[in-house]
Amino acid sequence: MIPPLQTSKVCQLASVLAGLAWFCVYPPVECQSLMNLPSRPSRAIKAAPSVARQKPLVTGSLPHATVLKSLAKALPWKAACGEEISQAVRSSALPAWFEKQRQKMSARPSVSGRPVLNESLTGWTWETLGSSTSDDELSRLMALAPNAKSSARSITRIGKVNQPAALLASIAATRAFTLPELLVALETLFKFSNEIAPDDFSILFARSFESSPPVIDPRPDVVAAQFEAHLLRSLVYAETMKGTADMESAAKDLASDLKSHTDTDGTPHAELLPVLSSWLAVHVRAAAYVNAKASRPGKWSGRVRNLTSGAHLELLAAVLEESARLIRQDGQMAHSIHKFSAIRHVYQAASQFLAFPPKSAAQGLAKQHATASKGRSATETRSSSSEFASSQSDWAHTAVLKAGWEATQAACTIAYHKPWPDVDLSTGNTTLIRGSCGIEASTPAGQLELADGWSCVCWNADEDGDYAELQMIGPERLFLERQNYLSRSQGFALFGEILRGKSAGEYALKTSLPISPELTVESDRLTREWQLKKQGKLVGRVFPLELPQQKIYSTPHTVEPHDGNLVFQYKAQGKAVYAVCVVVWDAKLLKRPAIWRKLTVTEDSRIVRDDEGVGYRLQLGSFQLVVYRSLKPTEYPRAVLGHHTAKETLIGSLDTKTGDVTPLLLVE
């Protein structure tokens, strides 16, 4: 209950003065021509995320009768509620009126057959949206919620009192909520009103209506979370407050946000990948709230049910399905900038109101969470109607090279919307490469200035592996290209860079391979092989094929570790330079001694120059890899290791018994 006023004359005078001061700053609603009410986040935030700061409806200590009366008069109640409030103020019955609202919000059973998520979902993004709270105990509770094996409510309750609500009430007495705090407060009012102590309800009810301080952050997940807060506020206060009738606008903002960040088939855009997990959580959570509100009987159910169209839900399901390709065995998404432990919970919640196909990868993730929440080991098997788990999108500027739908299988995700491509190579248990592949290039004409992004000029997925070739085109027929190949079954990946032009002279390339921060890099004592280790255990090997294997042989090229990257520098005379490295992680290949060398390439009985065509051979025990790249068009087939080809690119395996080269990839 709200504590009574103190009886001291000094305290009475202070209370009156405080009330008068509050009325001067925030007059009752009938005295205001323009009320500074909460408004929905502007779509312009995407281009200019600066949002004007809104004055808080309440300042200072909230649990005070005078302040509560002023607050009750200032809030924009609907006509019926306004009359009740006026009468409650006159009869000093405000606490009883707020208790009546609490009981009314608590007594909303769901319609049979439509599930309502009676568990906390805001804990999903508590640590990812930033500036969550200054309250350590609240942070501890919210950090635990996404990892709960059963309903998160069981963690956040003491008897019948919602513990986060009690902590938020103490915060509400002194300041406005941060965005994560506001989301938790609104969800608590929306779902768990029956668990809020009467003393806390009025404080939360009043403070949560006010907008949180604007978050000046262009991150897509933060922008989407502001749209979510606006929608949830409309759902909570639609029956009591004015100014909440624009819930359709809030839903449209979320629908527009979903559509603008994805391809037509649901592929998330490259710039979204660093925050994709929390962005997905926001959209799933918002759709779940709409589904829950529509499940409650009353005059609002039909209107709320129309907030999410069938097309919107179909797109959300498609985005979740496409995003499933990016989830590793540890539950993290490729390219993510933060730890996110609740992704399977997100899929399980979405499966309650989205129609995932029975054999889809999204449905498989949902089942994994359901299995784990019952205390059993979650299987990692996923399936899909697609033959291959790989994908590529020109609009999204992403390529996903993936050995299979199993979470334990290797995957290489490439985002090429920037001058330096972002690469994430995971073997299932371990991430080997993660970050931007820096590229610097120079020609006889001088240093090159890279374009804003790349185009994918070749994409191939078959039973042997996935291949994506990126390209930039400069002036005077200057080409910068990048090869990315992932074997589906042999445990290796290949990365190559090509710089070729029309003028003869010195061509130089400087590229980097971003090694995962959890790994250490060590150089082999005698050769130019590099070894990747995790806590002292060998998990990967890197072979720069352009360099002579033995360190005793001099070369103009170098490979050195620098700031967590392996930095390759290549120089060549002529009209082109080709640099390629192979990364292996298969357990058998990690143990085998390595031998590699450059191959002789011939054309019409003559040896071609290195700026015309280059070949390499890598041997690891019985595994032998052959790589060839043509750097200049030819009228005749060229021969490399006895294999004749007129193709531009050849990646193949060598049969040690017959000497035949079996192509794994051929590119025209």
- Residue of 148, 157, 158 whose CA lies nearest to 121: 148
Q: How far apart are CA 138 and CA 167, in angstroms?
A: 7
- Residue of 639, 628, 501, 630 whose CA lies nearest to 574: 501
Q: How far apart are CA 267 and CA 182, in angstroms?
A: 30
Q: How far apart are CA 435 and CA 511, in angstroms?
A: 13
Q: Which amino acid type is present at position 468?
A: A
pLDDT in the model for residue 118? 66
Stated as kind and residue range, the H or E segment containing 508 is strand 492-514
Which residue bears the tokens 């009359």? 83
Which residue bears the tokens 């205390």? 375
Q: Which amino acid type is present at position 178?
A: T
CA 228 to chain centre: 17
Which long-range contacts link 416-421 to residues 24+ away (Cβ below 8 Å)? 416/270, 416/453, 416/454, 416/456, 416/470, 417/269, 417/270, 417/271, 417/452, 417/453, 418/270, 418/452, 418/453, 419/450, 419/451, 419/452, 419/453, 420/450, 421/454, 421/470, 421/482
pLDDT in the model for residue 308? 85
Q: Is the CB of residue 553 less than 8 Å from the CB of residue 584?
A: no
Rg (CA), the chain: 31
pLDDT in the model for residue 571? 95
Two tokens, residue 282? 């926001």
- Residue of 350, 264, 352 whose CA lies nearest to 311: 264
Q: Which amino acid type is present at position 77?
A: W
For 157, other C-beta atoms within 10 Å of its C-beta total: 16
Q: How many helices (H) and strands (E) does the chain have?
A: 16, 27
For 654, other C-beta atoms within 10 Å of its C-beta total: 21
pLDDT in the model for residue 629? 98
Q: Tell me which architecture the domain covering 391-586 has in CATH.
A: Distorted Sandwich (2.70)
Q: Which amino acid type is present at position 455?
A: S
Compute CA distances 449 → 52, 92, 441, 552, 664, whole Å: 38, 72, 8, 35, 34
Q: How far apart are CA 88 and CA 100, in angstroms?
A: 12
pLDDT in the model for residue 655? 92
Q: Model's pTM, two decimal places?
A: 0.84
pLDDT in the model for residue 477? 83
Where do you find CATH 2.70.98.70 in the chain? 391-586
Q: Residue 107 half-sphere exposure, CB side, CA atoms within 13 Å?
A: 6
- Residue of 100, 97, 101 whose CA lies nearest to 89: 97
> Residue 533, SS3?
strand
Q: How far apart are CA 470 and CA 492, in angstroms?
A: 19
Q: Is the CB of residue 89 less than 8 Å from the CB of residue 73?
A: yes
Which residue bears the tokens 């709200």? 2
Where do you find CATH 1.50.10 in the chain? 9-46+53-373
Two tokens, residue 378? 């979650």
Q: Is the CB of residue 528 less than 8 Å from the CB of residue 579?
A: no
Angle formed at CA 579 by CA 573 and CA 585, multiple of 5 degrees: 160
pLDDT in the model for residue 370? 65
Q: What is residue 522's DSSP assignment?
A: E
Burial 466-496 (b: 16+ CB within 10 A, else e): bbbbbebebeeebbbbbbbbbbbebbbbbbb
pLDDT in the model for residue 152? 39
Average pLDDT of each block of 10 consecutive residues along the chain (668 residues)?
36 36 34 31 32 42 54 68 74 75 62 54 86 74 60 41 84 84 90 82 80 74 93 82 71 94 95 96 93 70 76 94 91 90 90 88 81 51 66 96 90 96 93 96 91 94 97 90 97 97 95 96 96 97 98 96 95 96 97 97 95 97 97 94 95 92 96
pLDDT in the model for residue 159? 44
pLDDT in the model for residue 274? 96
* CATH 1.25.40 matches 9-46+53-373: no
Beta-bridge partner residues of 599:
615
Q: Residues 399, 404, 406, 407: is their CA dihedral positive or negative?
A: negative
Two tokens, residue 587? 């357990």
Stated as kind and residue range, the H or E segment containing 202 is helix 198-207
Q: Residue 288 half-sphere exposure, CB side, CA atoms within 13 Å?
A: 25
Q: How many residues does the chain have?
A: 668
Q: How far apart are CA 90 and CA 435, in angstroms?
A: 64
Two tokens, residue 366? 């949902």
Q: How far apart are CA 172 and CA 164, in angstroms?
A: 12
Two tokens, residue 626? 């052959």
Cβ neighbours for 606, distance < 8 A, ≥ 6 positions apart? none
Q: Is the CB of residue 622 less than 8 Å from the CB of residue 656?
A: yes
Q: How far apart are CA 102 and CA 85, in angstroms?
A: 15
Q: What is residue 267's DSSP assignment?
A: P
Q: Is the CB of residue 350 less than 8 Å from the CB of residue 281?
A: no
Two tokens, residue 564? 């967590």
Q: How far apart are CA 553 and CA 99, in angstroms?
A: 84
Phi-psi region of 256 (alpha: psi -120 to 50; beta: other; left: phi over 0): alpha
pLDDT in the model for residue 265? 93
Beta-bridge partner residues of 532:
521, 540
